Amino acid sequence: MERQMFCEKCRHNFPTTELKYDRTGTHLLCKVCRKEVPKPDKNRFSKLIKSDVEDRKAKIKSKYICRKCEKNFELKPNFRQMCPHCGSAQIINNDYLKDAESLIEEAKDKKYEF
C-alpha cells in the first residue's frame, strides 16, 4: 500500500507520488496547489539587484594624496578625512586630479584658443 500525506495548502490526502515541494523547497503541495502558486516577480529581483549595486558604489574608496607627507592612500566616504600615515588633515582628493597628458590634451581643445 502506498503511503498517503497531506498537501500543506489544501490539506487533502494524496499519495506521496503526487506531492512535490514548492519552489522554496519548504512545503509539500499537490499538483493543483502547485499551479496556484504565483511565479516570482522578475522586476522585484532586478530592483533588489540595482539597490545592491548602489550600496556597493557607496562603499567604493576614493584616492587621496597627503599634502604634508605626500603619500597616496584610499579612504571610504564615511571615514575621517585624515592621512593614515601622518595624521594630517591636509589631504587632496586624487579622483579629481588629472595627469599631465590629460591636461595637455584638454588645453589643445579649441574652446581655450584666443
Answer yes or no: do 73 and 104 share one domain: yes
Answer yes or no: do 107 and 72 share one domain: yes
H or E, element range at 15: strand 13-15
Q: What is the rounded CA–CA span in Å between residue 90 and residue 67?
A: 6
Is the Cβ–Cβ distance between 61 and 76 less than 8 Å? Answer: yes
Chain segment 31-43, per-residue pLDDT in tens: 888 887 666 656 6
Q: Tell me what pLDDT residue 44 has.
A: 58
Closest by Cα among 24, 39, 33 to 6: 33
Q: How many domains does the chain divide into?
A: 2
Answer yes or no: do 68 and 28 share one domain: no
70 backbone φψ class: left, alpha, beta (φ>0; ψ -120 to 50):
left
* Mean pLDDT value of segment 3-29: 87
Answer yes or no: do 30 and 68 share one domain: no
71 within domain boundaries: yes
52 within domain boundaries: no
Q: Tell me what pLDDT residue 41 has.
A: 59
Whether 104 has a pLDDT exceeding 70, the answer reads yes
Closest by Cα among 3, 5, 4, 7 to 35: 7
Q: Specify the long-range contacts of residues 66-74, CB closer than 8 Å, at least 24 apart.
A: 66/90, 66/91, 66/92, 67/91, 67/92
45 within domain boundaries: no
Q: Tell me what pLDDT residue 50 has.
A: 59
Output the domain CATH number for residue 65. Answer: 2.20.28
Q: Which of 16-25, 43-52, 55-64, 98-107 reaches the highest mean pLDDT?
A: 16-25
46 within domain boundaries: no
Chain segment 50-96, per-residue pLDDT in tens: 555 555 555 677 888 888 998 888 887 777 788 888 988 888 887 66
78 within domain boundaries: yes
Q: Tell me what pLDDT residue 36 has.
A: 76
Q: Which domain holds residue 85?
A: 59-112
Global model pTM greater than 0.85? no
